[in-house]
Amino acid sequence: MWFVALAFLVLLRYDLSLSADRWVQHLSYVVIAALIQVMVGFGVHLYLGRSRFGSFGEVGLLTAVVAITALTAGGVSFLLTPEFSRAVVVTVPMLALLGMVGGRMLFRAFYGTDRVRSKVEATPALIYGAGDSGAQVAKLVDMAEDPPYSIVGFLDDDPSKRFYRVRSYRMLGRGTDLESVVQKMQAEVVILAITHASPELIADLDRRCKAMGIKMVIVPPVREMIDGQVDLNKLRTFNVADLLGRRPIKTDLKSIADYVTGKVVLVTGAGGSIGSELARQLKRMGPSKLLLLDRDESALHAVQLSIYGTGLLDTDDMVLCDIRDLDALRKVFRRQRPEVVFHAAALKHLPMLEQYPDEGWKTNVLGSLNVLTVSEEVGVERYVNISTDKAADATAVLGQTKRLAERLTSHFAETTGRPYLSVRFGNVLGSRGSVLFAFRAQIERGGPITVTHPDVTRYFMTIPEACELVLQAGAIGQPGDALVLDMGEPVKIIDVAKRLIDESGRHDVEIVFTGLRHGEKLHEVLFSQGEGHVASAHPLITQVPVPPITPGEIIAADAWDDEEMQHTGPRRAL
Residues taking part in catalysis: 390
d(CA 194, CA 202): 10
Are residues 501 and 443 in contact, defined by beta-carbon separation less than 8 angstroms? yes
d(CA 247, CA 243): 12
Enumerate the H helices of 81-239 as residue ranges: 86-111, 132-143, 178-185, 199-212
CB atoms within 10 A of CB 226: 8
d(CA 79, CA 82): 6
DSSP string across 417-461: -S-EEEEEE-EEET-TTSHHHHHHHHHHTT-PEEES-TT-EE-EE
Side chain identity, residue 41: G
Beta bridge partners of 289: 264
Query: Which candidate, 256, 253, 273, 252, places its Cα nearest to that of 265?
Result: 256
d(CA 23, CA 34): 16
Are residues 105 and 161 in contact, defined by beta-carbon separation less than 8 angstroms? no
Q: Which residues contact 127 (CB under 8 A, 6 or more apart)?
A: 134, 137, 138, 151, 153, 154, 155, 166, 169, 190, 191, 193
199 upstream amide cis, omega within 30 of 0: no
